[in-house]
Structure 1
């Protein structure tokens, strides 16, 4: 596995409700790839990585560009023009309400998850993600998709894909929440630093740096309210046809 990348995981082995299993070395999710060392880059090349889908904003990409093998095709698919998921916590230290309202960041994250569903740039990014997935139809070649922490923009990409593949909602939810386990070490470091500025600020930083069932429920609720269901959202807003969904199941399931 990678030594300098948070929240890196092959999604292979996840089971669908009808008994199929996601193939290994076909679809990978992770946090940012800017800190990879030479061994990490070699690992990805040997792993069969062919496509890197970057959901981050232009400024995130500029400040921390991906390190990937030369043979990998890079796809820039920003979900937001700027990072609405607040993965770069330093810039929020000047937010006064983060020191007096322990729900401030929680409310910001709910707004971000609403925007993940509703904003045209987000829909465009996830449609491009599916285009890359559909093109990855050769055996032993994989797609990696990521944002900064690999939990929100990446998390929703995984929710969409697993839904199309026919994975049970409880399993999808567990995969989404697993980011808290994979990011626990980083969260503890941020908590120690944040506590120096007070418990309320630390609570807000925790809410920025973790995933919550409330965040996922917010996105799913918005889809249901505005479009009928997540399935209808994928079909109507991401323009994912029934034939394309079947092709995805053929490519990624065994």
Structure 2
């Protein structure tokens, strides 16, 4: 019989899925498609961290913009005014590598060309040792040419593995509100840390969670092969749309300026959090393909941890079909999120209809969200 270790259980997130179902759902650094821009503007930018800890700033422009200045700051607001000059370079080089200007802090960059064109960017993944899937939703383009602000909206997995240095790092990020989607059983197993200045809010408090484990799911036939796992996850996402109380509360919190910046998380940071992130981006006007790309990034950030867990699973379960099912459960697939999108359209006529009728977001509230989180 397969007995999952504590780490495996956390990664598989099996209790999450079963309890949510039982209660009625009580390319790397993907960027948005380039918006139509007049010649002489930046069209995209991103930041990667090398194995040695150096930061590589990438950018693309639709013309040669000549000389450029790169500014940095530990705040995403008014970087050029409140930050410091990192370097002077040329936009035609399409990038610049530098040592981390402030180790232990989250850093944001602004690239300014000689013609006045600018672009702001940062690492999408937050640089933590105890969390693989803690990331920023900033930098994505909307269909009307706006950009999601950096440093205001985060998505993450469980926070109980954060190191002491991680906790200090997170506290410096200026996060005000931590939204936890987990059940009582999950929270008891791995409580969130209490940090000064950050309010922890539970959306699923009072839901004890189911006691079913991975073995019982396999024996019941729910996890007999990859197709059954995909079907189960698609159904889980549909149920979260049909009973969206988590996201009604999320939208209410986002509409209150006192909650900026906000992080939302579950256990693996890919299912409940994945749909929550998709809803946020859709409400802000980000196009569907970009939303899907962000959803699928969980496969990138959880890849190494998932590989290690699957190797352990293979040592104890010899049925290749069951291993394929568990592998599917640990990741995300297009079909999962697409099932939720399709359910929104089937039940409410459109995504906008779901936002307005399913979540109760008025046009005025949506306009307020855009004013708060876009630039």
Determine the structure 2 residue equivalent to 1:179.
298
Contact 2:181/2:246, CA 8 A, preserved across alignment: yes
**Separation (CA, whole Å) in 1 of partners of 2:265 and 2:284:** 19
**Separation (CA, whole Å) in 2 of partners of 1:99 and 1:131:** 36
Aligned residue for 2:310, secondary structure, equals helix
Among 25, 28, 37, which residue is 2:163 paired with?
37
Contact 1:79/1:116, CA 8 A, preserved across alignment: no
**Separation (CA, whole Å) in 1 of partners of 2:289 and 2:208:** 31
Among 307, 321, 334, which residue is 1:188 paired with?
307
Counterparts in 2 of 1:114-153, with a 5 A limit? 114-119=238-243, 123-136=244-257, 141-153=260-272
Contact 1:79/1:126, CA 8 A, preserved across alignment: no
Shift of 1:57: 1.3
Counterparts in 2 of 1:64-143, with a 5 A limit? 64-78=190-204, 81=207, 91-94=213-216, 95-96=218-219, 97=221, 100-119=224-243, 123-136=244-257, 141-143=260-262
**Structure 1 unaligned regions, length at least 5:** none
Aligned residue for 1:52, secondary structure, equals strand
**Structure 2 unaligned regions, length at least 5:** 1-126
Determine the structure 1 residue equivalent to 2:31.
none
**Separation (CA, whole Å) in 2 of partners of 1:154 and 1:205:** 19
Aligned residue for 1:193, secondary structure, equals helix
Shift of 1:193: 1.5
Greater fraction helix: 1
Larger mean Cα displacement after TM superposition, 174-183 or 70-79: 70-79
Contact 2:184/2:205, CA 8 A, preserved across alignment: no
Q: Residue by residue, what CA displacement relative to the aligned partner does 1:200-219 show, whole Å, maximum 9, x if unpaired? A: 22111111111111111111
Larger radius of gyration: 2
Shift of 1:137: 5.4
Shift of 1:70: 2.3
Closer, same or farther in 2 for the Cα pair 1:177/1:234, shift >3 Å? same
Shift of 1:232: 0.4
Shift of 1:21: 1.1
Closer, same or farther in 2 for the Cα pair 1:101/1:135, shift >3 Å? same
Shift of 1:73: 0.5
**Separation (CA, whole Å) in 1 of partners of 2:362 and 2:205:** 21
**Separation (CA, whole Å) in 1 of partners of 2:271 and 2:350:** 20
Contact 1:57/1:78, CA 8 A, preserved across alignment: yes
Q: Residue by residue, what CA displacement relative to the aligned partner does 1:228-251 show, whole Å, maximum 9, x if unpaired? A: 111101110110111110010011
**Separation (CA, whole Å) in 1 of partners of 2:363 and 2:322:** 46
Aligned residue for 1:178, secondary structure, equals helix
Closer, same or farther in 2 for the Cα pair 1:8/1:65, shift >3 Å? same
Among 15, 19, 33, which residue is 2:145 paired with?
19
TM-score scaled to structure 1, two decimals? 0.90
**Separation (CA, whole Å) in 2 of partners of 1:82 and 1:156:** 22
Greater length-normalized contact order (CA 8 Å, ≥ 6 residues apart) = 1
Alignment RMSD: 2.1
Contact 1:50/1:71, CA 8 A, preserved across alignment: yes
State how many pairs are aligned.
245
Q: Residue by residue, what CA displacement relative to the aligned partner does 1:158-199 show, whole Å, maximum 9, x if unpaired? A: 111111111111111111111110110121012112222021
Q: Residue by residue, what CA displacement relative to the aligned partner does 1:96-153 show, whole Å, maximum 9, x if unpaired? A: 226744433222212211111112xxx2211111111111358xx4100011111111
1:242 to 2:340 alignment: no
